[in-house]
Amino acid sequence: MDQLGIKKLAAMLKVSKSTVSRAFFENSGIKEETKQRVLSLAAELSFTPSFYGSNLRRKNSNTIAVVVPEISNNFFSQAIKGIEEILSKHNYNVLIYVTDSDGLKEADFISTINSGKVDGIIMSASAEEYNHEYISNLKRSKIPVVFFDRVYDDIEAPKVITNDYDISFDATELLIKAGCTKIVFLVVNKAISIGNSRMCGYLDAMKKHQLIQDESCVIDCSNDFQKNYSIIGNCLDNLKPDGIFCSIERLAIATYHLCIDRNINIPNDLKVISFSSLEIAPLLNPALSTITQPALEMGLKAASLLIKCIREPGINNVVTNVLESKIIERESTRQRVIK
Amino acid sequence: MDQLGIKKLAAMLKVSKSTVSRAFFENSGIKEETKQRVLSLAAELSFTPSFYGSNLRRKNSNTIAVVVPEISNNFFSQAIKGIEEILSKHNYNVLIYVTDSDGLKEADFISTINSGKVDGIIMSASAEEYNHEYISNLKRSKIPVVFFDRVYDDIEAPKVITNDYDISFDATELLIKAGCTKIVFLVVNKAISIGNSRMCGYLDAMKKHQLIQDESCVIDCSNDFQKNYSIIGNCLDNLKPDGIFCSIERLAIATYHLCIDRNINIPNDLKVISFSSLEIAPLLNPALSTITQPALEMGLKAASLLIKCIREPGINNVVTNVLESKIIERESTRQRVIK
DNA sequence: TTGTAAGCGTTATCAC
DNA sequence: GTGATAACGCTTACAA
């Protein structure tokens, strides 16, 4: 039995396949009347031209891949929301790949993607440490890539990042002005672009105020809650900080849990500030001072940029867009609190 | 110039296209040695068979569509994480569509999907009120659909839901036992399956304890923060409740903001419980009592179910799986608090 | 404005 | 184990 397809439609309408095909395009020089005839039958049978037949012939897919380290995370889910919003408005399909911060998975995904599967890629990097040849290969296949937030410095591509260094410098000074002298910086991966910029901002601010000489107050954490809980616990025991700067939201959450369990008063005993996309930071106990990235806007920007790269392949679009994060001061960094 | 393709590879290796093609499959009766020869050249050139060429010929796509009302939301992002985890393990690509709770968008998406684009669909429903013919059409094309959380009762399909009615009943009794007599139920959409089940659980518990006769304490809210803020504000003024049951996390957040601004003490003046997937509910001020759905597990389950439907098309897989939500009691419903 | 026919890159079938 | 060939469903010159 024949599948429903442009061929069968053609037979039913007694026109040629091409005529049916033309009905689905804008400027295809088809008589309005025939077009309507085709489209109405198509609607009745709820027919849409085969995606794969069409893609194969036209050599484009109207599909974009989004590759991210995690998805269940306020920053990324907001960014993806922005990406999806723009792309679906332009009739692109959105393919999602989650790497779990695993560089090998990233390489795997991107390599299989590299078969005409998508017209472009939006990604946030998972691993600085590997060879990024698989990304250069995309260039050869003319598949544009746009990075957001976590970028690879060795890859030339449009990037959407935030002012991590500056804002980290400012956040550190905010803690210092609030009276902290022993500020610890919690980081998950110093090797990755953002981890590094944030750390440098912190270090330079501390050095400026002559509060440290070395990196002994930079604490390496992980993505696992239990591990972080004990790492930060040890840090409190050993370093006895009066301020904590969390480079990632997750670390602030571990810190809060620790403070509840140990009955440490924020901000009296310890002040905390964190990068965070948490909308309910003001509802925490105490309200958390945050450095908030424009997650949604970064997604919107990255998607628009990619579309531009696809539409105007000749033009050099390799620009690094820096969007501004905002520091929002709340309870957790308040200088003195009357209880 | 010839594109890199199985044809070109064949020429380079002086074998036929078929041989090259066979190298990429498991049991294709190809000599191990030739297979390696092909694969190593392919690796060198970083070649993967064209996704679209292959899909067209094989009439399957190894792609699943995930259709959800929103993405930047704890419940959905956790569920999607689970879905993605299973699907990528089985080498499926994941296409994401966000409807913004708009039934027309949902119908649009699903209709364009219905062109062999995907092998199956996992969805959480956006709109009860429309005609769901576009979903029945999928059946005709033999594209399996699995629902999770928000389902359409008029569609026969495997579904993954939670015990909304029972747990809402229990949550209401919990408020009653904590001393509430005037409990208000906040809902976004009573028409949708979960909104309705939750409301019925609440109503029946209230009736059992003879605390209400009618639905006057069911308050219709929206998805917009400002609107909810004023709706709930009015509700506090007019109904003067001593307990609030939020059917959606978003509503609890609006309630908390309102209580801060109006200096209403939770739980002394007002007790609050809410459906919520918020991991940091214990860190709120005060810690929020939640009804927590197994979001991740629902995603895992839905994805496994869909794969089963694809692998075993003959078998009747139309089952409704009920996973259990959990009530976690915290500060916000505590009976008496010494301040 | 419409029809004819070639071809997109694969894989399945059949013959060798 | 391998090769030739047709076909998947569509779009697009080109011809009418």
Residue pLDDT, tens place only, A274-304: 999 999 999 999 999 999 999 999 999 999 9
Domain ranges of chain B: 1-47, 164-292+326-333
Percent of chain B with pLDDT over 70: 98
Nearest to A113 by CA among B62, B8, B44: B62
**What does the pLDDT look like over B43-79, one tens digit per residue?**
999 999 999 999 999 999 999 999 999 999 999 999 9
Closest nucleotide to A55, Cα to C1': D10
Question: CB neighbours (10 Å) of residue A48?
Answer: 18
A139 C-beta less than 7 Å away from strand D: no
pLDDT of res. B1:
46
Q: What is chain B's alpha carbon radius of gyration, rounded to the nearest angstrom?
A: 26
Helices B164-177 and B193-208 sit at what angle, rounded to 10 degrees?
40
Count, residues in chain A: 339
For chain B, give the number of residues.
339
User: Between chains, do B73 and A77 touch, taking CB under 8 Å as contact?
Assistant: yes
For A103-149, write each residue's pLDDT tens digit: 999 999 999 988 889 999 999 999 877 889 899 888 888 899 999 99
CA distance B197 to A197: 49
Is residue B92 over pLDDT 70?
yes
Q: Which of residues 212-271 of A touch B (CB under 8 A)?
A: 253, 256-257, 260
Window A:31-50, CB contacts with B under 8 Å = 46-50
CATH code reported for the domain at A164-292+326-333: 3.40.50.2300
**Whether A221 contacts A227, CB under 8 Å:** yes
φ, ψ of residue B85 in degrees (nearest 5): -60, -50
The size of the A-B interface in CB pairs under 8 A is 138
User: In which order are the strands placed within the sheet that holds A120-123?
Assistant: A320-323, A159-162, A145-148, A120-123, A63-68, A93-98, B93-98, B63-68, B120-123, B145-148, B159-162, B320-323
Q: Choose among B63, B57, B62: nearest CA to B17.
A: B57
In the predicted structure, residue B84 carries a pLDDT above the cut 50: yes
State the best of A59, A60, A71, A121 to mutate against chain B, taking most chain B CBs within 10 Å.
Answer: A71
pLDDT digits (tens, 9 = 90+) for A7-57: 999 999 999 999 999 999 988 789 999 999 999 999 999 999 999 999 999
pLDDT digits (tens, 9 = 90+) for B266-295: 999 999 999 999 999 999 999 999 999 999
Is residue A257 within 8 Å of B283, Cβ to Cβ?
yes
CATH code, residues B1-47 = 1.10.260
Gap between the Cα atoms of B164 and A186, Å rounded: 40
Contact B82, B277 (CB under 8 A): no
CA B32 / C1′ C13 distance in Å: 22
A55 has a chain B CB within 8 A of its CB: yes
Question: How far in angstroms lies nucleotide C11's C1' from the CA of residue B23?
Answer: 12
Nearest residue to nucleotide C9, by CA–C1' distance, is B53
How far is Cα of residue A208 from the mean position of the Cα atoms in its chain? 32
Q: Mutating which of A61, A62, A266, A283 best tests the B interface, going by the most B Cβ atoms within 10 A?
A: A283
DSSP H/E element including A74: helix A74-89
Per-residue pLDDT, averaged over A144-168, amounts to 96
Beta strands A320-323 and A326-328, pairing class: unpaired
A63: pLDDT confidence band, cut at 50, 70 and 90? Answer: very high
HSE (side-chain half, CA atoms, 13 Å) at A312:
7
Measured between CA atoms, how close is A80 to chain B, in angstroms? Answer: 8
CB B306 within 8 A of CB B64: yes
pLDDT at A338: 55
**B325 CA → C10 C1’, Å:** 47
DSSP string, A266-291: TTTT-EEEEE---TTGGGBSSPPEEE
| pLDDT band of A2, cuts 50, 70, 90 | low
Q: How far is A318 from chain B (nearest CA, A)?
A: 24
Are the beta carbons of B71 and A80 separated by less than 8 Å?
yes
> Rounded CA gap, B177 and A68, in Å?
45
User: Cβ–Cβ of A93/B95 closer than 8 Å?
Assistant: yes
> Lowest-pLDDT range, A127-141, A239-253, B18-32, B117-131?
A127-141
